[in-house]
Structure 1
Amino acid sequence: MCERIPKVVLLAGGVGGARMARGLATVLPAGSLSVIVNVGDDEHFHGLKVCPDLDTVVYTLSGLVQAQRGWGVAGDTTHALDMLRKLKAPDTWMHLGDGDIGLHLFRSECLARGESLTSITNRITSALGTPATIIPASDGDAPTLVDTDQGLMRFQQWFVQERARPAVRAIRYETVGTRVTSSAALALSGADLVVIAPSNPLLSIYPMLALPGFRDALLGSSARCVGVSPLIGGRAVKGPLAEMLTDLKLGTGNRAIATLYRDLLDALVIDKSDDADFPALMDAGLPHIELAATHICDRDKANELARAVLKAGQLNPLGFTEELA
């Protein structure tokens, strides 16, 4: 007999995804968790490759994150950005701290030498002591474009510079010339459980699903798939999801989330305050609904939610006992 640790794959983007990752990394055995991270909001600023979702997950898991904001490096300064503003450089609306810029310099230099984003991310997580495997969904550029009532914008322009104010008419996922990484596909194929974080489905999860090969790898996995709704009482804890659902006429509340993920999920975790949604979600064809506290406001709440997710996924976090051949 031998003990085998469970293999859990989290699909994540943004602050909610990073905090979900931290909870899972805490309650699972070491070596269990892989996090596949959205790259649709990656951008170049000041000649540097910036990967906001990857970096937020890395900083959070490594204990470096500015906890109150949920992104950036704790205690970081902005001397470089201040100088760029004095020089009237473009795009200084994107907040980049000095420590953050150091990481972007390292990544950009490695990319210029021909190293893949996956390989570079492995080097970063090893150096920072990140307690999980972090995998970019794609090694190539796959930008998310937002078609608004003020024209077509790249994601960071719409979300940060314009503060997500322009109404959204459509979202485009540009995936020509890229595909899911082999590391991401391998993680999905070997997973015992796939978790969809309480990230914005349209801006963090769908950009990954749109990558050639990604949805097939997910659907081809024998793992159960559990999603965590990013909505509580029909509103997002953080970000413009509720407004986007209305703008795009995709419905409201947890029913809209269930519809977006209907071909993927074996279970959906919703906030316990939304228990009135239970019958409608069951009528929508979801095989299992789990009620939990889904607002990840601190480490204890992250751990509590992680345990609820594992319960919904019917997974014992302590591992499996297998017969040796």
Structure 2
Amino acid sequence: MAFLIRIRELAKSHGQALKVCSDLVNQYKIVPTTEVSIDFTNCNFIYPDYALLLLCTVKYLESLGYVVSGRIYVQQASLPANYLAGMKFFEELKVQLPFSVDKGNDETSVQIQKYTRQNQITVLHSFLGILRKKASMHENVYVSLDYCLNEILDNVLNHSEQNEGWIAAQYFSTLNTIRLIACDYGIGVHKSLSKAFTFTEEEAILKCIEEGVTKGGGQGHGLYATAEFIKLNRGWMSIFSGNKTLSVSENETAVKDIDYWQGTCVHIRINTNVDVDYTSFTSKFYDYKKQVYEDLFGDRE
């Protein structure tokens, strides 16, 4: 039995991407021999976060023992396919296209990277180094991103009980914006926090951005700093886990129902030209900016 994924439909919104991914998982649970068809027809653009949700779903199915195979319908001139090839999407899927694609020399994207507890710091430094080179951003924004990206990777793995996750990003120079996503297919926020608390699913996803709420391990304060950074930066954060999504912005924090996501996914959009006071959410015991720049350049004095 075939399961058709039209990339133009998946690329419409996070909600649509989550629905496609949830339907794909359910399909394999019903028909384990399902063949997947991925169709790029009439798709002119896709954000890397949508593609990474699909990639992580395939990895989840493979972790359950399913063999995910099928066909990809794509023309050599497809811009989204060429873009995703440059982002290592097909490479991570272990798919070899029947023709060469022009990966170009994209100076604004950060390729999909797999991270584990063992290479988390290496991936963090590599990722930030690429963004620092490619994106024009205020010093305080870079320092905040350094702190919060470490928090995101730490917490995705901390809530996961899986030893791997994936991350990707894109810098939009005309908008002074970075889109970044990190996701896994672990046990999710609710099950993770249920080991220490009796929260409902909605309470758990709200609590994960509160200071001091943690199940133990990691940095010990959930995604509090990231949420504060997003508010000060006038950006956006979405956390997908289980059947809930938490959206955080300068003006609103809201929870909505979603199609089931089998782990935790954190998506942020930050404004590279909106200054923030990083001291309001980083450590109160030392200057994080000084530490970051000493790590980069040695003592600046």
Identify whether the pair has TM-score above 0.5, normalized to the shorter chain: no
Using the size of structure 2 for normalisation, the TM-score is 0.31
Q: Which has the higher contact order (CA 8 A, sep 6+)?
A: 1
Using the size of structure 1 for normalisation, the TM-score is 0.30
